[in-house]
Structure 1
Amino acid sequence: MTLRLAIIVMTACGVISDAILIAFYPQFFDMRYGVTDTVHIGAYVAAISVAVMITLPMWARVAHHVETLHLVVVTQGIAGLLGLASLGADTIAAFWAVTMLMFMTKSSYLLMFPYLMRVERPTSHGATVGLLAVVVHLGGIFGAMAGGVLLQHFGTDACLTASAAGDFAQMALCVQLIRTGRIVPVLGMEDVPAPPPPALHRTLPRVLRLGALMLVFDFSAYLVRPFFSVYWQAATGVGSQMLTGLVFAIPGLMALLALSIDRRAGGDAGSTGRHLSVGAAGLLLQASPWPTAMLIGRCLFGWALFRISVRLDVTLFRVSTPQAYARDFSIANGCQNLGVLLSSFCAGVIVDRFGMAMPFLIAAAGLLLTLLMSRLIFRIDRFRVARLPTTGTTGSTEHVI
């Protein structure tokens, strides 16, 4: 197995591990602890983002002194053990404590993305981001469907065990790469003459402006996520967790379709404004009470989510430099997780006070605000590449956790 393929498989394992419960936290907390408070559930999802925001920059600093794969071996092993330990958490407070520690250690695997971008040629970055984005979405499909089946037929313990298995799978892949000597050391690259420090710091203002767009976009995209499964079941009367998981994962199917079209057409010709408008329309349709309109809206939203996510990630590595990849990625990921954090807190409050359709309306307004910001503070389309390579593939690690 090549290094690139191994990292892609590791990404898939991480996404599946995270996606097993992400769509079903309301049902999970109800079944395991009898907790139905929407604000509490939103706070838990938000706390996951806080855990990642706090620890990812720390892991990025550690990676300046320890090879990334060696670091991930240790952290994913610890994350897997903590995941298994959560099986014995008899109280909600104990579950919070154990799983937050788990997410703090688990977050280190996000460093595999800038690591891969650093060892890849810059000309292949666009294709790599595209492929990884599809892997993330497909992993979300499988994880959501598997989570629905496990929760419905085997209970909450099975979900926690399966999630921990994903962490151990990543650890095993890292061990295999290290033992076979297939890793590419990057610490030695620091000895290669780098651009002078002022050039490095000149990338920071652009990264911060791009991060502001990512924050608003992720807030909008993830505002509808925590309670979508409950909303769908209430609107349609369909109680199947597996079917709900499939509907939840429709954006992943749209990502696969978009990548297939891009490979034939040679790239994405749509403007950022067009994609954001399509996404807003999709969110408005999902707010309707008709299942058909909700499905159409889910498809439109998924299409736009993939397009914008890939474009934002590609733009990040175009405005950054190889020496600053880890730093700039941790900044961008922090902005993304701050958006998810705010959306998780707000989702619980909004649903509690205004009902389950309101998050879709607010999220649509958020995408239109992102469109306005892209015109005023950071014109993403200036960094577009007209054609993506039709060979090679990859994707975004965005929202893995």
Structure 2
Amino acid sequence: MSLRTALIVLTVVSVTADTMILPFYPQFFAQAFDVHSQAHVGYYLAACCISVMLAFPVWAKIARRVHELPLWVITQTLAGLLGIACYFSQSLWQFWLLSQLMLCLKASYLMIYPYVLRLEERDKHLGMVGLFAVLMQLGGILGAVVGGALLEHYSARSLYLWMAASDGLQVLVCGYLMWRLRQGWQAPQSEQSTPTRGWTPHVIRLGLLAMVFYCAAFFIRPFFTPYWQSLNPDSALAAVSISGWLFSLPGWVALLGLWVNQKRPGSDDHAQVLLLAMLYGCVGLWLQASADSALLTIGRIIYAWALFQITVRLELWLFAHSEPQFYGQDFSKLHLMQNVGVILASMTVGHWVSAWGYASTFVVASVGLLLCALCLLWWRQSDSRNAQPSHS
């Protein structure tokens, strides 16, 4: 198994394991701690985002001194032990503390992404970024499917034991790679000598776009399946399996997007691709707000394609204006801004739905995408005006 293939397998395993419980936190808190508050679930998800958001830049800095492979061996070993501790936790505050510490350790695995990109030639970055976008989507779908299947036979609390087992598998794979590559503890000298870089104007712009975009994207996620079921209350379309398939459409569309990117080279004008995707993404969101099941399905497909394009292009544009030695630092900043958007969505969507209903979430998300498009258009025009004197 090559290093690249092993890292891709590790990504799939980690994303699948870490998302097994994500759709089932209401059941988990109800079974394990007799907590039935939907607001509590939202606050817990927001806390999870904050933990990962704060921990990832720390791991990016540590990875400048310690090679990623031995670092992952340590962090995933400790994360597995904390997962077992979560299974045996007896009080709610203990679970919160242990699970957040576990997520802080698991955040080190986000370093796989910039690590793999450092191994690839720049002209292959589009395919690699698209591949990781697909892996994240499919890992989330597979995690939900596996988690649902396990819940039919085991308690919700037991999912933490399965997650700990996956951590053990990841440790074994990393240990094997260290042995095969004869990899020591120290990071390459080029990484150690890399200076710390602050927020560049390009990273700030992309970070702001990512914050608004991810806030909009996550605003429609928590209540999509009950919204679909409310449109077809007396129909076979209201089945949980049907709503689950519709929810997972972005993952399947991402597979198509990966195949398209491999068959034909994409445009190097990332801003143009982003702008178009944001505009037809708005159309897809508006169609999903309709009460017609057929229009909703069409809108879901359109939005799914926009979601794939925006996710890939934001990161590809980031790396296009970065250098390999700064990949980890710049990606950690973009990831921080993404999580700010997710946190904002998690903290507000429940209250918004209570006041305005399910369909309104799609309207809010479309406004968010439109705002992104307007900002991007303004930046493009501003850059064009600033560049004109240099050509005269």
Q: Is the 8 A contact 2:353 2:361 kept in 1?
A: yes
CA distance in 2, matches of 1:151, 1:261: 36
How much has 1:129 moved relative to structure 2? Answer: 0.7
Q: Which residue of 1 aligns with 2:388?
A: none
Q: Residue by residue, what CA displacement relative to the aligned partner does 1:41-65 show, whole Å, maximum 9, x if unpaired?
A: 2111111110011111111111121
Q: Residue by residue, what CA displacement relative to the aligned partner does 1:244-286 show, whole Å, maximum 9, x if unpaired?
A: 4433221100000122223333336973222112222222233
Q: Residue by residue, what CA displacement relative to the aligned partner does 1:309-333 show, whole Å, maximum 9, x if unpaired?
A: 0001101111111222111111111
Q: Residue by residue, what CA displacement relative to the aligned partner does 1:219-245 show, whole Å, maximum 9, x if unpaired?
A: 111112233334344444467555544
Q: Which residue of 1 aligns with 2:339?
A: 337
Q: Which residue of 1 aligns with 2:203?
A: 207
Q: Which residue of 2 aligns with 1:369?
A: 371
Aligned pair partner of 2:222 in 220, 226, 230:
226
TM-score, normalised with respect to structure 2: 0.87
Q: Is the 8 A contact 2:87 2:160 kept in 1?
A: yes
Does structure 1 residue 82 correspond to structure 2 residue 68? no
Amino acid at match of 1:8: I
Q: RMSD of the TM alignment (CA)? A: 2.7
Q: Which residue of 2 aligns with 1:326?
A: 328
Q: Residue by residue, what CA displacement relative to the aligned partner does 1:89-121 show, whole Å, maximum 9, x if unpaired?
A: 233322222211111111000011111112222
Amino acid at match of 2:76: Q
How much has 1:183 moved relative to structure 2? Answer: 5.5
Q: Which residue of 2 aligns with 1:24?
A: 24
Q: Is the 8 A contact 2:60 2:328 kept in 1?
A: yes
Task: Name the SS for the 2:20 alignment partner.
Answer: helix
How much has 1:31 moved relative to structure 2? Answer: 4.0
CA distance in 2, matches of 1:166, 1:125: 28
TM-score, normalised with respect to structure 1: 0.85
Q: Which residue of 2 aligns with 1:265?
A: 264
Moved more, 99-108 or 322-331: 322-331
Aligned pairs (5 A) from 1:241-320? 241-267=240-266, 271-320=273-322
Q: Residue by residue, what CA displacement relative to the aligned partner does 1:155-187 show, whole Å, maximum 9, x if unpaired?
A: 313433333333222222111101112769752
Aligned pairs (5 A) from 1:47-62? 47-62=47-62
CA distance in 2, matches of 1:182, 1:245: 44
Does structure 1 residue 144 correspond to structure 2 residue 144? yes
Amino acid at match of 2:252: L
Q: Is the 8 A contact 1:23 1:245 kept in 2?
A: no
How much has 1:344 moved relative to structure 2? Answer: 0.8
Moved more, 238-247 or 90-99: 238-247
Amino acid at match of 1:68: E
CA distance in 2, matches of 1:24, 1:244: 15
Aligned pairs (5 A) from 1:92-171? 92-171=92-171
Q: Which residue of 1 aligns with 2:357?
A: 355
Amino acid at match of 1:280: C
Amino acid at match of 2:375: M
Unaligned ranges ≥5, structure 1: 383-401
How much has 1:355 moved relative to structure 2? Answer: 2.5
Q: Is the 8 A contact 1:228 1:248 kept in 2?
A: yes
Q: Alpha carbons of 1:83 and 1:284: their partners in 2 closer, same or farther (altered >3 Å)?
A: farther
Q: Is the 8 A contact 1:148 1:244 kept in 2?
A: no
Q: Alpha carbons of 1:76 and 1:201: their partners in 2 closer, same or farther (altered >3 Å)?
A: closer
Q: Alpha carbons of 1:372 and 1:36: their partners in 2 closer, same or farther (altered >3 Å)?
A: farther
Amino acid at match of 1:187: P
Task: Name the SS for the 1:377 alignment partner.
Answer: helix
Amino acid at match of 1:264: K
How much has 1:308 moved relative to structure 2? Answer: 0.5
Task: Name the SS for the 1:180 alignment partner.
Answer: helix
| Percent identity of paired positions between Structure 1 and Structure 2 | 39
Task: Name the SS for the 1:24 alignment partner.
Answer: helix
Q: Alpha carbons of 1:87 and 1:340: their partners in 2 closer, same or farther (altered >3 Å)?
A: same
Unaligned ranges ≥5, structure 2: 385-392
Task: Name the SS for the 1:64 alignment partner.
Answer: coil
How much has 1:154 moved relative to structure 2? Answer: 3.1
CA distance in 2, matches of 1:157, 1:40: 17
Q: Alpha carbons of 1:266 and 1:121: their partners in 2 closer, same or farther (altered >3 Å)?
A: closer
CA distance in 2, matches of 1:146, 1:243: 17
Count of matched residue positions in the alignment of Structure 1 and Structure 2: 376
Q: Alpha carbons of 1:363 and 1:74: their partners in 2 closer, same or farther (altered >3 Å)?
A: same
Task: Name the SS for the 1:229 alignment partner.
Answer: helix
Q: Residue by residue, what CA displacement relative to the aligned partner does 1:324-379 show, whole Å, maximum 9, x if unpaired?
A: 21111111110111111111111122123322332222111111111111112368
- Radius of gyration: which is bigger? 2
Amino acid at match of 1:36: H
Q: Residue by residue, what CA displacement relative to the aligned partner does 1:179-219 show, whole Å, maximum 9, x if unpaired?
A: 11276975222478x7xx7xx85971211111111111111
Q: Alpha carbons of 1:155 and 1:29: their partners in 2 closer, same or farther (altered >3 Å)?
A: same
Task: Name the SS for the 1:267 alignment partner.
Answer: coil
Q: Alpha carbons of 1:229 and 1:156: their partners in 2 closer, same or farther (altered >3 Å)?
A: farther
CA distance in 2, matches of 1:110, 1:40: 26
Q: Alpha carbons of 1:94 and 1:295: their partners in 2 closer, same or farther (altered >3 Å)?
A: farther
Task: Name the SS for the 1:65 alignment partner.
Answer: coil
Amino acid at match of 1:251: P
Q: Is the 8 A contact 1:46 1:345 kept in 2?
A: yes
